[in-house]
Amino acid sequence: MRQVAILGIGQTTIDEHWDKSLREIGGEAALTALNDAGLERADALFVGNMLAPMIDGQNQLGTFFADWIGLRGAEAVKVEAACSSGGAAFRSGVMAVASGEVESALVVGVEKMTDKAGHDVTAALATAADADYEIEQGVSFVGINALVMRRYMHEYGWKHSDFAPFSINAHANALHNPYARLHHKITAEAFEKSAMVATPINLLDASPIGDGAAAAVLVPAEAVVSSNGRARIVVAGSASATDTIAVHSRRDPLFLTAAYESSKQAYAQAGIEPKDVDVFELHDAFSIMAALSLEASGFAERGKGVQLGLDGGISPGGRIPVCTRGGLKARGHPVGATGMYQIVEVAQQLRGECGPTQVEGARVGLAQNIGGSGATIVTHVLRTA
Check residue 135 for interaction with a second copy (CB under 8 A): yes
Rounded Cα–Cα distance for residues 166 and 344 (Å): 21
Check residue 79 for interaction with a second copy (CB under 8 A): yes
| H or E element in which residue 292 lies | helix 287-296
CA distances from 375 to 92, 94, 187, 255, 260 (A): 18, 22, 32, 11, 12
Check residue 207 for interaction with a second copy (CB under 8 A): no
Out of 17, 83, 171, 283, the active site residue is 83
The C-alpha angle 108, 110, 111, rounded to 5 degrees, equals: 170
- Strand partners of residue 206: 286
Per CB under 8 A, contacts with a second copy among 5-34 are 21, 23
Q: Which is nearer to a second copy, 73 or 138 (CB)?
A: 73
Rounded Cα–Cα distance for residues 279 and 299 (Å): 11
Check residue 98 for interaction with a second copy (CB under 8 A): yes
The minimum distance between CB 83 and a second copy, in angstroms, equals: 9
Stretch of 6-14, 148-156, 350-358, 372-380 lying at the interface with a second copy (CB under 8 A): 372-380
Answer yes or no: 333 catalytic: yes
Rounded Cα–Cα distance for residues 90 and 81 (Å): 12
Per CB under 8 A, contacts with a second copy among 283-302 are none
Stretch of 114-122, 188-196, 244-252, 304-312 lying at the interface with a second copy (CB under 8 A): 244-252
Packing angle of the helix pair 85-98, 335-351 (nearest 10 deg):
60
The 8-class DSSP code of residue 98 comes to H
Chain centre to alpha carbon of residue 176: 18
Per CB under 8 A, contacts with a second copy among 306-365 are none
The minimum distance between CB 289 and a second copy, in angstroms, equals: 16
The 8-class DSSP code of residue 195 comes to P
Out of 17, 283, 333, 380, the active site residue is 333
Residues that bind a second copy (CB under 8 A): 1, 21, 23, 50-51, 53-54, 56-64, 66-67, 71-82, 88, 92, 95-96, 98-101, 123-124, 126-128, 130-132, 135, 239-246, 249, 257-258, 261, 371-372, 375-376
Catalytic residues: 83, 333
